[in-house]
A and B are shown apart, each in its own frame.
Chain A
């Protein structure tokens, strides 16, 4: 089934997986109507745990559930998951390599109205710095369905980063998600664009505008960690320059991960992301993305600069 919202894709996919796999359990911290964990609660109430407004407790309970052979998916806003529950994620789940799946919902600037307190622009940086952690940031709802299935099959801690809003899919609904595999969405030679999450669709729009002007490869990086550094280096070897595009701080996110992977390649890199600033409230997502420069125009500019 195809959806146009990552949260709905998450909720429905868990419902489906839960039908066959009785070990799947879902936890929420009074945000199940937003994470869409409530879909699972409606279908499999005995395996849904509402812990109230207590994210740290939720994550540690998930650790205990994993220790009894369950596959817990714990969900809350990305800012609370990666921030408030950081220590619990680090100490028990990651050191112990526990099979806990953490969903950071309404990530980036996608919770446009709520302002800086609710906008996670550093969650990728926090999560990918933790040993044993896998970090997944699907491009759209289609890829979210496949990613959630892949997470349920893999063993070990995993952070899933989702956006809040509806938008059209740019990936194939039936493509199996392979953790650690970058996907080339458009071939090209001059410039390579690495994008993640919602910004994949923006990057594709930008590249479309440059048709006939620049030959650009677009790569969807939906696994931030483990990063396939060899493959990334191989993808850029004939290009003039690289552009990274993300709805995250330019510090420590996709841009940082790509720069680490390419540090021996001597390719210039332009980062399109949030420039070391907290978010703020706005009336819609697009308005906020424009305010922070996460626009098609800025991606075009960055690509043009790298193509010279």
Chain B
């Protein structure tokens, strides 16, 4: 085992904490994107608390690694990571969507420290990340750009424009991660718009493809580290995940894409994440 048990345990505990922050910031009787937050939570934890270089006291650090949440609707998950990392107080999370507050329904580059670009209109984050990767190369800065994409988001044509361009530009400092939870906003991918064999698709676009269990911390860390070894090709990590992961009644339930909790289910969710 390349990674110590302590590290893996610590990261798993952190991921649970982020999932709890998400539930607490959504609260009772308000809708929030909990399903997709929970499927991405382990990946986001690995990025912020293992892989990426950044400085919460200097969010514009020139040689920081960049993380773009192309599936911007799970902003609450990224806010949880940013708060826990020290970009702003954890208490802010409960004020998400308060009128005039810095934590918006979707990531806002100007308002929130640590956000690299506004996302929310799906399909655009990979292109933005590619632009950053190109800019960093021009300046010979060795930082990496990580872009988290939803599998439903693969319906958007611009994802494939970016996929084509990134391999043409040989952007090996760009890593896409597909949160492959097999569900989109209104149902299962196979019932709505199935992107099909996504591993084969990314391979055909000449990307380095790594397929993992997106809830297995060791596999996530291994994939992120392996991406560093690849030259002249972008890497995509296809992370097989479960929508709503970590909360029993939420797992694979489509209505929790943007769902709501009552007093009872809220208490149950918090209990399972404690």
Residues 37-75 of A at the B interface (beta carbon under 8 Å): 46-47, 49, 51-52, 54, 56-57, 60-70, 72
- Per-residue interface assignment for chain A, residues 71 to 114, with 1 indicating a CB less than 8 Å from any chain B CB and 0 otherwise: 01000000000000001100110011110000000000000000
Whether A57 lies near B132 (C-beta < 8 A) is no
How many angstroms between the C-alpha atoms of A27 and B119 in the bound complex?
21
Number of A-B contacts (CB under 8 A): 107
**Contact (Cβ within 8 A) A60 B165:** no
The one of A51, A57, A60, A97 in contact with B110, judged by C-beta atoms closer than 8 angstroms, is A97
Complex Cα–Cα for A190 and B152 (A): 61
User: Does A25 sit within 8 A of B, measured CB to CB?
Assistant: yes
Task: Name the one of B110, B119, B136, B164 contacting A68, with C-beta atoms under 8 angstroms.
Answer: B136
Picked from B110, B135, B162, the residue with its CB within 8 Å of the CB of A70 is B135
Q: Which of A57, A69, A70, A91 has the most CB of B within 10 A?
A: A57
A57 surroundings in chain B (CB, below 8 A): 127, 158, 161-162, 165
Q: Cα distance A60–B128 when bound, in Å?
A: 5
Minimum C-beta distance from A17 to chain B (A): 16
Chain A's interface size range is 20 to 34
Check B118 for interface membership: any CB of A closer than 8 A.
yes
> Is there an interface contact between B118 and A92, defined as CB atoms closer than 8 Å?
yes
| Chain A contacts for B150, CB-based, 8 A | none
Task: List residues 172-195 of chain B with CB under 8 A from any CB of chain A.
Answer: none
A91 touches B162 (CB 8 A): no
Residues of B within 8 A of A62 (CB): 131
Are A64 and B117 touching (Cβ within 8 A)?
Answer: yes
Chain A residues within 8 Å of B108, by CB: 95-96
A88-B118 Cα distance, complex, nearest whole Å: 10
Which single residue of chain A is at the shortest CB-CB distance from B143? Answer: A68
Hey, which chain B residues are within 8 Å of A87, CB to CB?
121, 124
User: Nearest Cβ in chain B — how far from A166, in angstroms?
Assistant: 34
Report the bound CA distance from A62 to B162 in whole Å. 12
Complex Cα spacing A251 to B163, Å: 38
By the criterion CB–CB under 8 Å, are B138 and A47 in contact? yes
Candidate in A52, A54, A64, A69 with the most chain B CB atoms within 10 angstroms: A64
- In contact, A88 and B124 (Cβ under 8 angstroms): yes
When C-beta atoms are compared, the residue in chain A nearest to B124 turns out to be A60
Q: Name A53's closest neighbour in chain B (CB-CB).
A: B161
Task: Give B83-101 interface residues, CB cut-off 8 Å to A.
Answer: none
A64-B130, A70-B138 known; A91+B165 contact, CB < 8 A: no
Q: Is the CB of A63 within 8 A of B138?
A: no
With A60-B158, A92-B118, A92-B124: A54-B165 Cβ-Cβ less than 8 Å: yes
Q: Say whether A49 contacts B135, CB under 8 Å.
A: no
Q: Which of A46, A67, A72, A97 has the most CB of B within 10 A?
A: A67
List of A residues within 8 angstroms of B141 by Cβ = 68
**Complex: chain B residue closest to A60, CB-CB:** B127
- State in angstroms the CA–CA spacing of A54 and B168 once bound together: 13
Residue of A nearest to B132 (CB): A64
B142 to chain A, nearest CB (A): 13
Contact of B165 among A51, A69, A72 (CB under 8 A): A51
A46-B138, A95-B109, A96-B109 known; A61+B131 contact, CB < 8 A = yes
Give the distance in Å from the alpha carbon of A138 to the alpha carbon of B124 in the complex. 31
- Cα-based distance from A87 to B127 in the complex (angstroms): 13
A70→B138 CA distance, assembly (Å): 9
Which residue from chain A places its CB closest to the CB of B121 in the assembled complex?
A: A91
Q: Is the CB–CB distance between B130 and A61 below 8 Å?
A: yes
| Selected contact of A63 from candidates B117, B120, B133, B145, CB within 8 Å | B117
- Contact check, A64 vs B138: say whether CB atoms are below 8 A apart: no
A71 to chain B, nearest CB (A): 11
- For A95, the closest partner residue in chain B by CB is B118
Q: Give chain B residues whose Cβ lies under 8 Å from the Cβ of A69.
A: 135, 139
Q: Is the CB of A63 within 8 A of B134?
A: no
Chain A residues contacting B138 (CB-CB under 8 Å) are 25, 46-47, 68, 70
B151 at the interface (CB under 8 A from A): no
- Measured in the bound complex, the distance between the Cα atoms of B239 and A137 in whole Å is 47
Task: Judge if B116 is at the interface, Cβ distance under 8 Å.
Answer: yes
Indicate if the CB atoms of A56 and B158 lie closer than 8 Å.
yes
When chains A and B are docked, how far (Å) is the Cα of A42 from the Cα of B66?
Answer: 31
Return chain B residues, CB-CB under 8 Å to A95: 108-110, 118
- In the complex, what residues of B have CB within 8 A of residue A54's CB? 158, 161, 164-165
Q: B206 CB to closest chain A CB, in angstroms? A: 14
Distance in Å from the Cβ of A87 to the closest Cβ of chain B? Answer: 6
Further pairs besides A61-B128, A68-B135, A68-B138: 14, Cβ < 8 Å: A54-B161, A57-B158, A60-B128, A60-B131, A60-B158, A63-B127, A64-B131, A67-B117, A67-B128, A68-B136, A87-B124, A88-B158, A96-B109, A96-B118
Q: Could you write out 8 A-B pairs with CB less than 8 Å apart?
A: A25-B135, A57-B165, A61-B134, A61-B162, A64-B117, A64-B127, A64-B133, A88-B124
Report the 6 A-B pairs with minimum CB-CB distance, sorted nearest first: A64-B131, A68-B135, A60-B127, A57-B161, A61-B131, A64-B132
